[in-house]
């Protein structure tokens, strides 16, 4: 019966794709499969590959100083730091980002965050799951950065949780979507000076008391959609570490970087 049902579902899926062929996540052009990008959008998406900052995932220039045994460049430059992470104190130990927050990457993130594009959450989450593989340790808890209840009510979903769910599934890890909570509704971070961004988030995230026994000494992968200054991730990681969790690593779909 199960095999028959799967066969019927496959036929229905094929019929739907004839009527509604898969579309590029970025521009809507017809593509070969669901969750794909057309060649133009793919080329305009700043996937972060090669040498990157080990704390935030920002791409770094490859000076050729880290070849592997076969002479190829290493993509996982453990210990490398970008200028921002050299200046800022990061409470987490490692970090990765799948995309640079520009080009096609920016509208994809905004579509997921503000455009009700739940259909792109799975492929974007799968990109981040692959990118975050170097951060995975046994017994890791996957924890999304939470929304305040007021914002969650209006948006109806937490985009960070959707991404975290794909990571947890891909790596067979427990997802703790309600481990952190917002103590207050903070104003938007956009266009605020750096110091104000950190002050705005100070004390705004906490660990739920009922979760305290579960996090002691547990490695945590903290997940969010975008990292700009790192203020939100700093508040979230600080709340986890203060309650005995750790080490904490971070994974974000997109990293905002300054133009070269």
106-115 average pLDDT score: 95
Domain ranges of the chain: 82-186+193-255
The DSSP letter of residue 187 is P
Task: Enter the pTM of the model.
Answer: 0.85
According to the model, what pLDDT value does residue 168 have? 98
Q: Report the half-sphere exposure of 153 (CA within 13 A, side-chain side).
A: 4
pLDDT of the residue at 4: 52
Residue 9 has pLDDT above 70, yes or no: no
- Give the confidence band of 164 by pLDDT, cuts at 50, 70, 90: very high
What would the CATH number be for the domain defined by 82-186+193-255?
Answer: 3.40.50
Any alpha helices (H) in 92-211, and if so which ranges? 105-114, 121-131, 149-155, 159-171, 194-201
């Amino acid at each position: 019966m199960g095999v028959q049902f799967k066969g019927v579902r496959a036929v229905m899926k094929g019929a739907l794709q004839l009527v509604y062929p898969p579309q590029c996540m970025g521009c809507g052009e017809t593509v070969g499969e669901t969750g794909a990008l057309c060649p133009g959008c793919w080329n305009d998406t700043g996937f972060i590959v090669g040498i990157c900052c080990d704390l935030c995932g920002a791409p770094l220039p490859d000076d050729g100083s880290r070849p592997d045994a076969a002479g190829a460049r290493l993509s996982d430059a453990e210990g490398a730091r970008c200028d921002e992470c050299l200046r800022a104190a990061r409470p987490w130990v490692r970090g990765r980002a799948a995309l640079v927050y520009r080009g096609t990457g920016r509208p994809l993130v905004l579509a997921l965050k503000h455009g009700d594009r739940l259909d792109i959450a799975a492929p974007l989450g799968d990109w981040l799951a692959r990118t975050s593989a170097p951060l995975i340790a046994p017994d890791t808890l996957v924890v999304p950065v939470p929304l305040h209840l007021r914002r969650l009510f209006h948006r109806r979903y937490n985009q960070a949780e959707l991404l975290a769910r794909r990571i947890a599934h891909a790596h067979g890890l427990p997802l703790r979507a309600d481990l952190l909570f917002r103590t207050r509704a903070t104003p938007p971070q956009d266009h605020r000076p750096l110091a104000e961004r950190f002050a705005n988030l100070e004390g705004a995230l906490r660990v739920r008391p009922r979760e305290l026994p579960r996090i002691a000494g547990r490695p945590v992968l903290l997940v969010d959609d975008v990292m700009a200054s790192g203020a939100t991730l700093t508040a979230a990681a600080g709340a986890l570490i203060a309650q005995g969790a750790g080490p904490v690593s971070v994974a974000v779909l997109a990293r905002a970087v300054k133009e070269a």
